[in-house]
Chain A
Amino acid sequence: MKIKLRDIAHGRSGDKGDAANIGIITYDDKGYEIICKHLTVETVKKHFEGICFGEVERFELPNLRALNFLLHNTLGGGGTVSLKLDAQGKTLAAALLRMELEV
């Protein structure tokens, strides 16, 4: 069955230098199980092909039913140098919520 990440989670993104941080928070325990299994370093890296040019790191926050991702080399040089309209990666959480998961 295909589900949209958007239907089971919300999130927020921002910048840490040239890296973007994306926090994804699920609405219930089942959702957290699903993202732990399907939102891996590899699937997230593939999703952001052409946007993220560096390593992806993943951190688990089970108490908050959330995952935090760091996407390195993603913001065109970082907040002050970047020419991007979204130099701080503010819209990248929404971009990750576009993902569809086969569960």
Chain B
Amino acid sequence: MKNKIRIASGQGFWGDLIDAPYYQVTHGDIDYLVMDYLAEVTMSILQKQKNKNPELGYARDIPELMKRILPICKEKNIKVITNGGGVNPISCAKAILEVAKSIGISELKIGVVLGDDIKDRIDSIIDSGCELNDMETGEPIINVKDKLLSANVYFGAFPIVEALQRGAEIVITGRTTDTGLTLAPMIYEFGWTKDNFDLMAAGTVAGHILECGAQATGGNFLGNWESIENFAQIGFPIAEAFPNGEVVITKHESLGGKVSIDTVSEQLLYEIGDPKMYITPDCIADFTSIKLEEEGKDRIKVFNIKGKPDTPSYKVSCSYESGFSASSTLTYSWPQALTKAKAVDKILRKRLEILNLQFDEMRTEFIGYNACHGPLATEIDEDLINEIVVRFSVRSKDYKSIERFGKEIAPLILTGPPSVTGFAGGRPKPSEVVAYWPALIPKELVTPYVEIMEMKS
């Protein structure tokens, strides 16, 4: 058994810094590279891509990235774990095998975690008595079943552990929790068992710190952000894990950013609810038990973590079509920028009213004045405001209303208040609104399984 492993975060979301995983494998020693690609909406986007082309539905950045890092990972024996398989992890694995072949790699073993996609099983699940009620409203899923775009169960660390045990060098999953990606190698390397809830919680907390990439190493840091050095080549976090559950959060020395109690604390508090009840498929972690200690420059020890048994349910993330929306902006300059922006809002609303368009909501925001902080924004002398961007947004079940809204923005330039600019890129097109439906499903109704895909010489 190893007495220490280094797990590096390579992506915090799909669209994150492209070079980050490359830096992680080249700027120092690591044992695992973990990459989170999936946000709540991502699955529905991927499902739409798969509907158009059955070979798609995964994070398409992955094969290109693998081309770059696979030779290095092979040489240094770095294993890669990612949930970027989206709704088509098999095709993702196939694409990686092809890329590997094209760069002369002759042996590669990929573990694919499957079973999370329950979209085609919804009817039988409902028949079995599980109504997949919305966790927020309590509504049964049957109400939106016809508009359902995707339905995926969040799996935890153990299917990944199985893939590693079967010799996978790369593990591709669909909807796996971000925290499971980091916990899995700890379970695998240190032989942790599921009933050791404190250890499950320790790896889960480490996973939470890593899951948003550089948000743990000085990115989006609301403390003294100006003290963060070299944002341009910011180092993503690395969790140095030990068999007793202690973890040190650090980063490669030659890269930018900072790991301090303050930067790690901000990430610990990110997107959590009740800190005593951080629920994952693997355990319930108690974030109030976490202790942090600085043990050197850019080295924060995370320890004393307590956990409780996992719950009998998996969380399911469903998405469904919920009408259309559009947004557009105009920019007004000094003098009277805000007054003019408010006037044009009245004019637009009047025109939309005359047209008798149907909107579920219309929202106007004044960027440069109060779009972020609303009523908390400080009142300032209008003469000091140099310019205002007015942003109009509408949402409706009626496509035609949204489309017509798009045609009413440009005319405001010649038919409304003066010194206006910034209308570029043509008429705003209606975009589909994808709503999110979180639900729970009894664990016995879903079974994760692992498929090994390999290339042998």
Which residues from chain A sit less than 8 Å from chain B, CB to CB? 10-12, 14-18, 21, 23-25, 27, 47-51, 57, 59-64, 66, 68, 70, 76-81, 83-86, 90-91, 93-95, 97-98
Contacts and interface: CB of A to CB of B under 8 A. Distances in A.
A4 to B, nearest CB: 13
A91 B372 contact: yes
Contacts of B395: 81, 83
A61 B287 contact: yes
Contact of B365 (A59, A80, A85): A85
B403 interface: no
Contacts of A94: 222, 372-373
A51 B372 CA distance: 10
9 contacts: A24-B269, A27-B262, A61-B287, A61-B288, A66-B265, A76-B363, A77-B361, A80-B319, A83-B327
How many residues of B sit at the interface, in one of the four size bands? 35 or more
> Main SS of chain B's interface residues?
mixed
B413 interface: no
Contact of A83 (B221, B267, B374, B393): B393
B376 A95 contact: yes
Contacts of B291: 63
A93 B136 CA distance: 23
Contacts of A61: 269, 275, 287-288, 290
A90 B304 CA distance: 30
Contact of A12 (B222, B327, B362, B371): B222
A64 B271 contact: no
B367 interface: yes
Contact of B289 (A50, A63, A80, A95): A63
Contacts of B214: none
Given A64-B292, A79-B436, A84-B365, A12 B220 contact: yes
B269 A23 contact: yes
B374 A81 contact: no
A83 B363 contact: yes
